[in-house]
Structure 1
Amino acid sequence: MNKFQTFCRTLDTTLGHLLSGLLVFLVVDVSWQVLTRFLLSQPSSVTEELARFLLIWIGLLGAVHAYRARLHLGIDLFTRKLSQPVQENLHRLVHLACALFAVAIFIIGGGNLMFMTWSLGQSSPSLGLPMAAVYSVLPLSGLLMCLYSAEAILLGASVEPTESPAE
């Protein structure tokens, strides 16, 4: 295994642990919201906003993690009928399209959104967090998706992983 693959595996493990931690934090946050709303009759104004932000981060980083593990939606009914070299080239083309999408939408679009909210000084109403920090997950997800696309293109796009990347 070369250094690039080792780096991607380490990143996979880190991303898996981060997602697990965010999910635990989300469960605690929503549980606290339910407790304060129904048992104490004084709902916390912070927990709803925090849950929304955690869902954004979990959704985007989870999508990247699923892309890496090849758990994303893919229709391969027709590609399985093609020869192996054609399948590999088609897989590389698909990963290239994913990388271009990540650059255009997540890195450029998300980066512009992040810098615009930073320059305007926009912050969240309840938590007071800079919205640029919340939106920073967009270019981060795009960079990770480009990294994983590059690995798939360079090291064999059609090779299915033998184990989950987080293991």
Structure 2
Amino acid sequence: MKRIDRLLELVLGSLLALMVLDVTWQILTRFLPMNPSSYTEELARYLLVWIGILGAAYAYRKKSHLGIDLLTNALPEGLRKKVQLLTISLCFAFAAATMVFGGIQLVMLTFELNQLSAALSIPMGFVYSVIPLSGTLICIFSIDQLLQVLRGEIPAAHDSAESTEMASAQG
């Protein structure tokens, strides 16, 4: 699992660096020779899509998505564990049905229709392929989280919140 995490971090960092270079090139070609590059805006848009959707999978893995745990913190530990299992299972189901299954359908359809991007003339199926890829990652991460909850490796929600508050108060 650590290899997947590291690879995802590397891919996201590389995409971000490429986007910075792309936008820098766009600015330079717009103002120096007064002849803006024709492909940079579209490339930046597609890189942003990839960073955003892959970043969602990364944030899910790191548990960085916004969550309101007021209700779950008030639950007894046994019920809290059941709610965690339900929540993770729902995330898995959504990612599998919408992102993986629906994303594959979208990618196949755009390849069948031979839909090309306007400036780069690349098949749009390559752009959309990030959806099932990210969905697959979320499914893998969900299974890992389910196993962690079942093994008791994920601490109770209020315990981790208290330790975060204590660490910030000490620092």
Classify the TM-score, shorter chain: 0.7 to 0.9
- Aligned counterparts of 2:81 and 2:27: Cα–Cα separation in 1: 50
Is 1:124 aligned with 2:122?
Answer: no
SS in 1 for 2:39: helix
Residue of structure 1 equivalent to 2:34: 41
Q: Deviations over 1:30-59 (max 9, x none)?
A: 011111112221011110110011001000
RMSD across aligned positions (CA) = 1.4
Residue of structure 1 equivalent to 2:58: 65
**TM-score with structure 2 setting the length:** 0.86
Runs of 5+ unmatched residues, structure 1: 1-7, 162-167
Is 1:153 aligned with 2:146?
Answer: yes
Superposed, which structure 2 residues align to 1:6-155 within 5 Å? Answer: 8-155=1-148
> Which is bigger in relative contact order (C-alpha 8 A, separation at least 6)?
1
User: Which structure would you say has the larger Rg?
Assistant: 2
- Aligned counterparts of 1:33 and 1:81: Cα–Cα separation in 2: 52
Shift of 1:129: 1.0
Shift of 1:150: 0.7
Runs of 5+ unmatched residues, structure 2: 161-171
Shift of 1:126: 1.3
SS in 1 for 2:117: coil
- Stretches (4+) displaced over 6 A: none
